[in-house]
């Protein structure tokens, strides 16, 4: 790996920074809305799965205790 002087390094960083394309405000807002929607859906899905398996475990424990 070639050694680069601090000045050349700063120039390279500035050159690369100029290539960055930042998202527009609309793109940022849409991405944020999608994140909220997807996390809500996943939260509801896992809540349902957890409730379902919790009920099964409670039923099995009841059967094992002889209360079914």
Q: Is residue 1 part of a domain?
A: no
In a domain, 5, yes or no: no
Q: Which range marks the domain in which residue 43 is found? A: 24-68
| Domain presence at residue 14 | no
Kindly state whether residue 60 falls inside one of the protein's structural domains: yes
Residue 15 lies in a domain: no
Question: Buried b vs exposed e over 19-38: b needs ≥16 C-beta within 10 Å?
Answer: eeeeeeeeeeeeeeeeeeee
Q: How many domains does the chain have?
A: 1
Whose tokens are 């939260």? That residue is 43
Whether 58 is in a domain gets the answer yes
68 and 59 in contact (C-beta within 8 Å)? yes
Q: What is the model's pLDDT at position 1?
A: 67
Angle at 40 between CA 25 and CA 59, to 5 degrees: 170
Query: In this predicted model, what pLDDT tens digit does every residue of 9-66 receive, in sequence order?
Result: 999 999 999 999 999 999 999 999 999 999 999 999 999 999 999 999 999 999 999 8
Tell me if 54 is assigned to some domain.
yes
């Amino acid at each position: 790996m070639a050694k680069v002087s601090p000045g050349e390094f700063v120039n390279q960083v500035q050159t690369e920074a100029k290539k960055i394309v930042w998202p527009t405000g609309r793109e940022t807002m849409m991405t944020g809305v999608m994140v909220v929607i997807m996390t809500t859906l996943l939260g509801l899905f896992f809540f349902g799965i957890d409730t379902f398996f919790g009920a099964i475990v409670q039923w099995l424990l009841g059967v094992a205790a002889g209360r079914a």
